[in-house]
Chain A
């Protein structure tokens, strides 16, 4: 066991993957000599040479399209999009080619690419550096979408992503890069599609992923003072989604709040909430509620704390889970106005 940051665990995962499989190439903007703006690729070029880890022209569609061609030639590209919003120029390559090539060719061609996307906010970043873009990818069949919330998961999920036969959009919560934890590497690996109960509880289930997981855990801790024993489920792989673990938890607790940092409308949390009520309706004592970012463009740094899901906002939402068998007064007010 050693104390390490998520950034270091990701770096170790890349290095170990490159060591195990010489088809793995790591490339993108500033990933070579500099080691990436977040230092996730630190030292890889020095260790593996500039043919295995290299900088490219500053063009995200080019980076992803280049990776498609490399994968067609039998290599295993791992590319870095420098920031969430900088990946948008690559969206056509991702949606029209990366996601579809296997399907279009009945499996004759596959593109086992990993697209690493540092994403989400909470770091005081200026505009275009803090988007939560996971819903765009999760809405695109053919992609797997993964986001770690812990140091060990960062390692194990990235190793799994690089070995996966399908393209993976690997979403790295920037605000967790430099959080440290005790970790033992190589961490135990579990197949994609396995959510995990991070904290057992009996009264309600908080479902979260990526940067929202620490918020959920802090809220669950704070809720003890209010007398609620909350369970926290970390989704880990948005696609494929682990319905079984989430539904089993909600059936046990009877109440559910879904937490995401992204803006809420048409987001991943909406999908999760719908899936939970489809599967757990008779076990539910209250509607499934959501806590998300506001439906606004990501705000300027001095205002981001208002936008981001907070422990207080989670607790306020938990309080609305009809504990006294009374419907939520907000819906009643709306109903009477109608």
Chain B
């Protein structure tokens, strides 16, 4: 075969095409930083300040510390209440206080929170009555607080389903001209659920102002993170949905609040959802009914004890000169009083009314439910008569 002059020309190095400008990387601005954002060392000393995540005002950090201390004391009290049989079960968030309180402080009161069952400390930090928070676990009803009034969805037990609710609510609010942001809590294990994918995707497509806040505490009951994902970090899941994301040291309260503040601002400004992964650790078992020694090493737990977020923030605030022994003691005293009040109130037997079972199945009970209510009423009357 002979070579055509045209082919020769094409092969000529003199006819090199002009260099095309590199196409912009469409994932730019979506990927998290390769290492979790950190503003404090584990000993509480400050790292160099950075422009992308300015340190929150010190008075906010002091309030954060207060709520973290009270929250941790609440958490210990709730665990104690399970041992006394006052709660059916309690999933502790000890060690995750920076995330629990940071999320609440990053939001306005009229923003919405979509918590899971592990967010009791976040709910008390939001100002919800602790007895109302524990109603679910005490067992006198499913949700003890008023979710509409508190702008806080019922604690979600089915995994990741709240991610889609948050997208819908946030879109509905913006559709009606309100600048509400929704923050959905989710754990590392639940990022494997389809509803996480669908929620983040819907929020992205509809540009809904949602912050998805993953507390990666390393375990889904017993199953380690390596069995949930092969992603470099959970924060990398954002880019696949076109959602910017960030990872943060979840035991660094200053960094958590700084990153969430920026995420909330991004959502409120109309740029759509933002995904934050906080690297943290569940110091306690999944619940009081779990035995964590079966799946994790005591040394591992000890290593995380050295990264305690409460100790870290306290050291930082002392160094900044806004907290001293007296301040620490006053907050500890407040926490004790809070726990004592909770204990006393939880020792009272709650009144439950079997006839209320029929009240909120439908707006108006169906004829069948009216019949069943009458049957239960008769059973109760008969039992009372027998007892009398």
Chain A residues proximal to chain B, CB less than 8 Å: 51, 56-57, 59, 61-62, 64-75, 77, 89, 92-93, 96-97, 100-110, 141-142, 144, 164-166, 193, 239-241, 243-244
Smallest CB-CB separation from B164: which chain A residue?
A: A65
- B158-195: CB near A (< 8 Å → 1, else 0) gives 10010111111111110110000010000000000011
Is B347 at the interface (CB under 8 A from chain A)? no
Pick 13 A–B contacts, CB within 8 A, sort by A. Answer: A59-B194, A62-B164, A62-B195, A62-B198, A65-B199, A68-B164, A70-B175, A93-B195, A96-B161, A101-B154, A108-B146, A109-B148, A142-B361
Chain A residues, CB < 8 A from B175: 51, 70, 73, 75
Answer whether A66 and B202 are a contact pair too, CB < 8 Å, given A96-B158, A144-B362, A241-B368: yes
- Within 8 Å by CB of B161, from A93, A239, A240, lies A93
Central interface residue in A73, A144, A243, by most chain B CB within 10 Å: A73
CA distance A61 to B147 in the complex (A): 22
> When the two chains form their complex, are residues A107 and B360 in contact, meaning their CB atoms are under 8 A apart?
yes
Answer whether A68 and B165 are a contact pair too, CB < 8 Å, given A141-B361, A142-B362, A166-B363: yes
Chain B residues, CB < 8 A from A96: 158, 161
- B353-375: CB near A (< 8 Å → 1, else 0) gives 00000011111001110000000
- Within 8 Å by CB of B202, from A57, A100, A101, A144, lies A57
Chain A residues, CB < 8 A from B166: 69
CA distance A64 to B158 in the complex (A): 15
Other A-B pairs, 14, CB within 8 Å; known A104-B154, A108-B146, A109-B148: A57-B198, A59-B198, A61-B164, A62-B164, A62-B201, A66-B171, A69-B171, A69-B182, A96-B161, A97-B158, A106-B143, A108-B149, A165-B363, A243-B368
Chain B residues, CB < 8 A from A66: 164-165, 167-168, 171, 202, 206
Chain A residues, CB < 8 A from B154: 101, 104-105, 109
CA distance A240 to B176 in the complex (A): 33
Chain B residues, CB < 8 A from A69: 164-172, 182
Taking the nearest CB of chain B, how far is it from the CB of A273, in angstroms?
A: 16
Is B142 at the interface (CB under 8 A from chain A)? yes
Is B60 at the interface (CB under 8 A from chain A)? no
> When the two chains form their complex, are residues A62 and B367 in contact, meaning their CB atoms are under 8 A apart?
no
CA distance A145 to B136 in the complex (A): 29
> When the two chains form their complex, are residues A70 and B195 in contact, meaning their CB atoms are under 8 A apart?
no
> When the two chains form their complex, are residues B158 and A92 in contact, meaning their CB atoms are under 8 A apart?
yes
The 4 residue pairs across chains A and B that have the minimum distance between CB atoms:
A69-B168, A65-B164, A73-B172, A62-B198
- B136-153: CB near A (< 8 Å → 1, else 0) gives 000001110011110001
Is B221 at the interface (CB under 8 A from chain A)? no
CA distance A184 to B201 in the complex (A): 43
> When the two chains form their complex, are residues B143 and A72 in contact, meaning their CB atoms are under 8 A apart?
no
CA distance A147 to B166 in the complex (A): 31
> When the two chains form their complex, are residues B172 and A74 in contact, meaning their CB atoms are under 8 A apart?
yes
> When the two chains form their complex, are residues B195 and A106 in contact, meaning their CB atoms are under 8 A apart?
no
Is B322 at the interface (CB under 8 A from chain A)? no
Smallest CB-CB separation from B165: which chain A residue?
A: A69
> When the two chains form their complex, are residues A74 and B194 in contact, meaning their CB atoms are under 8 A apart?
no
CA distance A61 to B363 in the complex (A): 24
Taking the nearest CB of chain B, how far is it from the CB of A204, in angstroms?
A: 25
Is B376 at the interface (CB under 8 A from chain A)? no
Chain B residues, CB < 8 A from A62: 164, 167, 195, 198-199, 201-202
- Within 8 Å by CB of B368, from A68, A103, A240, lies A240
Central interface residue in B161, B170, B206, B362, by most chain A CB within 10 Å: B362
Is B205 at the interface (CB under 8 A from chain A)? yes
Chain B residues, CB < 8 A from A61: 161, 164, 194-195, 198
> When the two chains form their complex, are residues A108 and B171 in contact, meaning their CB atoms are under 8 A apart?
no
CA distance A97 to B158 in the complex (A): 9
Chain B residues, CB < 8 A from A240: 362, 366-368
Smallest CB-CB separation from A56: which chain B residue?
A: B202
CA distance A109 to B158 in the complex (A): 18
Smallest CB-CB separation from A23: which chain B residue?
A: B176
- Within 8 Å by CB of A65, from B165, B173, B368, lies B165
> When the two chains form their complex, are residues B361 and A72 in contact, meaning their CB atoms are under 8 A apart?
no
Smallest CB-CB separation from B148: which chain A residue?
A: A108
Taking the nearest CB of chain B, how far is it from the CB of A206, in angstroms?
A: 22
Chain A residues, CB < 8 A from B161: 61, 65, 92-93, 96-97
Taking the nearest CB of chain A, how far is it from the CB of B232, in angstroms?
A: 25
Chain B residues, CB < 8 A from A107: 359-360, 363
Chain B residues, CB < 8 A from A73: 168-169, 172-173, 175-176
Answer whether A102 and B363 are a contact pair too, CB < 8 Å, given A65-B168, A68-B165: yes
CA distance A64 to B199 in the complex (A): 11
Smallest CB-CB separation from B210: which chain A residue?
A: A69
CA distance A157 to B158 in the complex (A): 32
Central interface residue in B161, B172, B173, by most chain A CB within 10 Å: B172
CA distance A96 to B142 in the complex (A): 12
- Within 8 Å by CB of A103, from B142, B148, B163, lies B142
Chain B residues, CB < 8 A from A166: 362-363
CA distance A51 to B177 in the complex (A): 13
- Within 8 Å by CB of A70, from B171, B205, B361, B367, lies B171
CA distance A101 to B169 in the complex (A): 14
Chain A residues, CB < 8 A from B182: 69
CA distance A96 to B359 in the complex (A): 18
> When the two chains form their complex, are residues A103 and B361 in contact, meaning their CB atoms are under 8 A apart?
yes
Central interface residue in A68, A69, A109, A142, by most chain B CB within 10 Å: A69
CA distance A59 to B183 in the complex (A): 22
CA distance A240 to B205 in the complex (A): 37
> When the two chains form their complex, are residues B153 and A72 in contact, meaning their CB atoms are under 8 A apart?
yes
CA distance A144 to B142 in the complex (A): 22
Answer whether A89 and B367 are a contact pair too, CB < 8 Å, given A73-B173, A105-B143, A142-B362: no
CA distance A144 to B175 in the complex (A): 28
CA distance A243 to B142 in the complex (A): 31
> When the two chains form their complex, are residues B169 and A70 in contact, meaning their CB atoms are under 8 A apart?
yes
Taking the nearest CB of chain A, how far is it from the CB of B211, in angstroms?
A: 14
> When the two chains form their complex, are residues B359 and A106 in contact, meaning their CB atoms are under 8 A apart?
yes
Chain B residues, CB < 8 A from A72: 153, 165, 168-169, 172
Smallest CB-CB separation from A275: which chain B residue?
A: B368
Taking the nearest CB of chain A, how far is it from the CB of B108, in angstroms?
A: 16
